[in-house]
Amino acid sequence: MAVIKYRKGQWSIIGKSKYIPLGPGGPGLSAATASVDGKTYTGAGVKPLSTVTVYVGGVQAGTAVADANGDWSYTFANAPAKNSVIGWDGIISAPTTIAPTPHPTLGGLNLSGATFTQGAAAGTVIGTFAGKTAGSTLSISPNDGTVAISGDQTKLVVGATASTPGTRSYTVTETDADATNGPKTTTFAITCNIALLNLNTRFVAEGDSITAGSNGPSWLWAFDAASAGRFFMPQGYNQATGGQTAAQMATQVAQITALSPKVVSLLAGTNDLGGTSDTPATIYGNLKTCWKAYIDGGAQHVIIATVMPRNDSVWTALTAARQTDRVTLNNLISGYATDPDLANYKDKLHLVNLESYNPATDSIEGLHPQWLGAIKVGKLFAAVANSLIDQTHTLNGDLYLDATNVLSSKNPALTGTTGTMSGTAQPTGAVATGWSVSENGGMTVVCSKSTLNGAEAQRIVVSGTNSTVQRLVNFSAAVNVTGNIGDSFEACIDFSLAAGHQKIRDIVINHATASTPNSGNQSFNFDGAGAISGTLRSAVTAPLSAAITTITLQALLNFDVGTVGADITWGKPYLRKVPATI
Residue 190 Cα distances to 58, 166, 390, 504, angstroms? 46, 8, 22, 49
Taking residues 547-566, report their average pLDDT.
Answer: 96
The answer to whether 11 and 27 are in contact (CB under 8 A) is yes
Q: What are the tens digits of pLDDT across the range 378-393?
A: 999 999 999 999 999 9
Q: What is the pLDDT of residue 520?
A: 63
Please state, in angstroms and rounded to a whole number, the distance separating the CA atoms of residues 274 and 168. Answer: 41
Q: What is the pLDDT of residue 188?
A: 97
Before 340, cis peptide (omega within 30)? no
Name the pairing type of β-strands 562-563 and 465-466. antiparallel
Supply the DSSP symbol for 509.
E
Helix (H/G/I), strand (E/B), else coil: 349 = strand
pLDDT, averaged across the chain: 91
Longest dimension (CA), the chain: 130
Q: What is the pLDDT of residue 94?
A: 61
Stronger pLDDT, 38 or 442, i.e. the higher one: 442
Residues pairing with 190 in the sheet: 168
Confidence band, pLDDT 50/70/90 cuts, at residue 487: very high
Taking residues 386-402, report their average pLDDT.
Answer: 94
> According to the per-residue pLDDT averaged within each range, which of 11-15, 126-130, 131-135 is highest?
126-130
Helix (H/G/I), strand (E/B), else coil: 324 = helix
Confidence band, pLDDT 50/70/90 cuts, at residue 187: very high
Stronger pLDDT, 33 or 129, i.e. the higher one: 129
Taking residues 470-485, report their average pLDDT.
Answer: 95
Taking residues 439-466, report their average pLDDT.
Answer: 97
Q: What is the pLDDT of residue 225?
A: 97
Taking residues 541-557, report their average pLDDT.
Answer: 94
- Which stretch of DSSP H or E encloses residue 80? none
Q: Among 17-31, 131-145, 146-160, 516-530, whose mean pLDDT is lowest?
A: 17-31
Confidence band, pLDDT 50/70/90 cuts, at residue 29: low
Which residues fall within 8 angstroms of residue 52, CB to CB, at 6 or more apart?
24, 43, 46, 63, 64, 65, 66, 72, 74, 88, 89
Q: What is the pLDDT of residue 530?
A: 96
Please name which of 45, 64, 52, 40 lies closest in space to residue 90, comparing C-alpha atoms. Answer: 52
The answer to whether 235 and 539 are in contact (CB under 8 A) is yes
Supply the DSSP symbol for 248.
H
Give yes or no for residue 28 having a pLDDT over 60: no
Q: What is the pLDDT of residue 98?
A: 79
Q: What is the pLDDT of residue 523?
A: 84
Proportion of the chain above pLDDT 90, given as a percent: 78
Residue 450 Cα distances to 430, 454, 455, angstroms? 10, 10, 9
Proportion of the chain above pLDDT 70, given as a percent: 93
Residues pairing with 422 in the sheet: 438
Give yes or no for residue 277 having a pLDDT over 50: yes
Give yes or no for residue 265 having a pLDDT over 60: yes
- Which stretch of DSSP H or E encloses residue 461? strand 455-463
Please name which of 88, 96, 90, 93 lies closest in space to residue 71, comparing C-alpha atoms. Answer: 88
> According to the per-residue pLDDT averaged within each range, which of 33-37, 159-163, 393-397, 563-567 is highest?
563-567
Q: What is the pTM of this model?
A: 0.80
Q: What DSSP string describes 144-191?
A: SSSEEE-TTSSEEEE-SS---SEEEEEEEEEE-TTSSS--EEEEEEEE
Q: What is the pLDDT of residue 89?
A: 76
Helix (H/G/I), strand (E/B), else coil: 490 = strand
Confidence band, pLDDT 50/70/90 cuts, at residue 90: very low
The rounded radius of gyration (Å) of the Cα atoms in the chain is 38
Helix axes 280-296, 320-334, angle to 10 degrees: 30
Please name which of 232, 235, 253, 236 lies closest in space to residue 244, comparing C-alpha atoms. Answer: 253
Q: What is the pLDDT of residue 442?
A: 96
Residue 14 Cα distances to 5, 18, 19, 94, 498, angstroms? 7, 6, 5, 17, 100
Please state, in angstroms and rounded to a whole number, the distance separating the CA atoms of residues 520 and 242. Answer: 19
Q: Which domains does the chain have, with CATH numbers?
A: 3-98 (2.60.40), 110-193 (2.60.40.10), 207-386 (3.40.50.1110), 395-577 (2.60.120)
Q: What is the pLDDT of residue 377?
A: 98
The answer to whether 483 and 547 are in contact (CB under 8 A) is yes
Please state, in angstroms and rounded to a whole number, the distance separating the CA atoms of residues 385 and 16. Answer: 94
Please state, in angstroms and rounded to a whole number, the distance separating the CA atoms of residues 233 and 210. Answer: 18
Give yes or no for residue 577 having a pLDDT over 50: yes
Give yes or no for residue 498 having a pLDDT over 80: yes
Taking residues 518-529, report their average pLDDT.
Answer: 84
For 199-300, strand residue ranges (E) read 201-207, 231-232, 263-267
Give yes or no for residue 20 having a pLDDT over 50: no
Taking residues 126-148, report their average pLDDT.
Answer: 95
Give yes or no for residue 83 having a pLDDT over 70: yes
Before 142, cis peptide (omega within 30)? yes
Q: What are the tens digits of pLDDT across the range 207-264?
A: 999 999 999 999 999 999 999 999 999 999 999 999 999 999 999 999 999 999 999 9
- b/e map 152-181, b = 16+ CB within 10 Å: eeebbbbbeeebeeeeeebebbbebebbee
